[in-house]
C-alpha cells in the first residue's frame, strides 16, 4: 500500500492549500496549492512578473488609441473647415436623418433616457422652488431657443438645482454645444 501525503489529504478534505514544511525549488518554505502542488510564493512572484510585463502592453495601446482618435478628430475638423455651405447643410441633414432613424429604432432606450432626465429634474427641484416662475420661463422662451440650466442638473463636477434663478433661455445651438458643462 502506498502512503498518501498532505496534498492528497488536502484534496480529500476540499482544501485549497496544504503545508509540507519542505522548501520548493526556489527555497520558499510556504503553503502550496492543492490543485497542482505549486508554492504560493512562487505563484505570487510569477503573477507580479506577468503583470509588470503586461502593464506596458495594456497601457500603450490605450494611449495609441486615444492619440489615434485625436488625430482622426483633427483630420475631420480640417476636412469640415473646407466644406462649402451646401456641404455643411447636407451633412446637417444627414445627421438629422440618422438621429430620427435612431429614435425610431430605439424607442425603449429613448424613453429610458427621457425618464432618467425627468427623474433627475424632479430630484433636483427643492420643495421651496417657485414652480410658477419656472413654468413662466418655459412658456416665455422664444422659438428656436432652449431653456437651459446655468449650472447643469447632471455634470461631472457640479450639479445644480431646478429653480427659476438657475434657468436661462439660450439659442438651441449654444445650448447643445454647452451640453452638461458649467460655462462660468
What is the DSSP track for 86-119? Answer: HHHHHHHHHHHHHHHHHHHH-HHHHHHHHHHHHH
The answer to whether residue 64 scores a pLDDT higher than 80 is no
Percent of the chain with pLDDT over 90: 34
Per residue in 94-139, pLDDT (tens digit) is 999 999 999 999 999 999 999 988 888 888 899 999 989 999 999 9
The answer to whether residue 15 scores a pLDDT higher than 80 is yes
- Name the pTM for this structure: 0.47
C-alpha cell, 87? 456641404
C-alpha cell, 72? 482622426
Confidence (pLDDT) at 57: 66
The answer to whether residue 178 scores a pLDDT higher than 90 is no
CA atoms within 13 Å, Cβ hemisphere of 137? 18
Amino acid at each position: 500500500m502506498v502512503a498518501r501525503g498532505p496534498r492528497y489529504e488536502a484534496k480529500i478534505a476540499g482544501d485549497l492549500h496544504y503545508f509540507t514544511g519542505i522548501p520548493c525549488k526556489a527555497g520558499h518554505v510556504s503553503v502550496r496549492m492543492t490543485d497542482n502542488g505549486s508554492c504560493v510564493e512562487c505563484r505570487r512572484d510569477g503573477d507580479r512578473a506577468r503583470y509588470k510585463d503586461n502593464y506596458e502592453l495594456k497601457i500603450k495601446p490605450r494611449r495609441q488609441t486615444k492619440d489615434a482618435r485625436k488625430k482622426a478628430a483633427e483630420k475631420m475638423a480640417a476636412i469640415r473647415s473646407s466644406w462649402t455651405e451646401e456641404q455643411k447643410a447636407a451633412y446637417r441633414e444627414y445627421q438629422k436623418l440618422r438621429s430620427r432613424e435612431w429614435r425610431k429604432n430605439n424607442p425603449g432606450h429613448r424613453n429610458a433616457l427621457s425618464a432618467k432626465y425627468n427623474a433627475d429634474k424632479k430630484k433636483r427641484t427643492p420643495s421651496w422652488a417657485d414652480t410658477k416662475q419656472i413654468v413662466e420661463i418655459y412658456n416665455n422662451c422664444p422659438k428656436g431657443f432652449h431653456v437651459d440650466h446655468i449650472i447643469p442638473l447632471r455634470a461631472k463636477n457640479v450639479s445644480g438645482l431646478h429653480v427659476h434663478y438657475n434657468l436661462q433661455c439660450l439659442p438651441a445651438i449654444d445650448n447643445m454645444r454647452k451640453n452638461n458643462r458649467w460655462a462660468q
